[in-house]
Amino acid sequence: MNILEKIVIDKRKEVALRKSLIPVSQLESSVLFSRETVSLATALKNSATGIIAEHKRRSPSKSVINHTLNVQDVATGYENAGVCGMSVLTDGKYFGGSLDDLLIARAAVKMPLLRKEFIIDTYQILEAKAYGADVILLIAAILTREEIKTFSEFAKSLNLEVLLEVHNQEELQKSIMPSLDMLGVNNRNLKTFEVSLVTSKKLSTLIPDDFVKVSESGISSIEAIKELQPFGFEGFLIGENFMKTNNPGESATSFISNLK
């Protein structure tokens, strides 16, 4: 069993529990539910750098990345750095995140926020909306085509954008549909954890131009971005590179000014 399968088994239990504790009506009546969302896709299209910076305390591949920073400081630092948006990991067991992280980030900044989560139920999409996200992540590796369609259309009905993540050609082909805004290529092999930018380059030609192309994982240098831009990538998700420093906002600031 690979790590993704393990996470999904735990996620199903977790979501069942959350659903039993917090009814849908409570999510729908939250203050943020009626908030006007901000477009990450538009921000990426209009940006010369396309950085989506991440808040991530730990990961299954790296264990602890940074447990000492508070989300508010990280979010404000990223926004001041001029990133296009922020990805907030809300998985607790494997990544040390929570929905409260999303809430705190939302209170601190105006930029688009992505709820980075292993979505297996429409309930989690309602949570994303209720806690202030603008974008949700769908992972093709854990969803059927039917689920991708149902979840992405449901997200659109709530004015949330959808970033769909793929790892290979097969996942990409089953996923392409009009209810997606952005297609992300994850450069990390989930079985071996090895990272290769070749994955993004290979798949770039198969992604229709209607979608904003995003490259994820293993992007830690200006060179990597410069290498991927000619392949049509407009978004670059950077997590550990900023988070492993004492001041992610400052790291993002110098990274972006060097990239320009």
Catalytic site residues? Answer: 54, 56, 116, 165, 186, 216-217
Strands (E), the chain: 51-55, 58-59, 63-64, 85-89, 113-116, 135-139, 161-166, 182-186, 212-216, 233-238
Q: Are 156 and 135 in contact (CB under 8 A)?
A: no
To 10 degrees, the CA torsion angle through 49, 98, 249, 260?
A: 0
The first and second tokens of residue 244, run together, are 């492993």
The first and second tokens of residue 149, run together, are 């369609």
Which DSSP state fits 35? P
The first and second tokens of residue 16, run together, are 């069942």
**How far is residue 201's CA from residue 228's CA, in Å, rounded to a whole number?**
7
Among candidate residues 78, 106, 101, the one with its CA nearest the CA of residue 91: 101
Q: Are 160 and 197 in contact (CB under 8 A)?
A: no
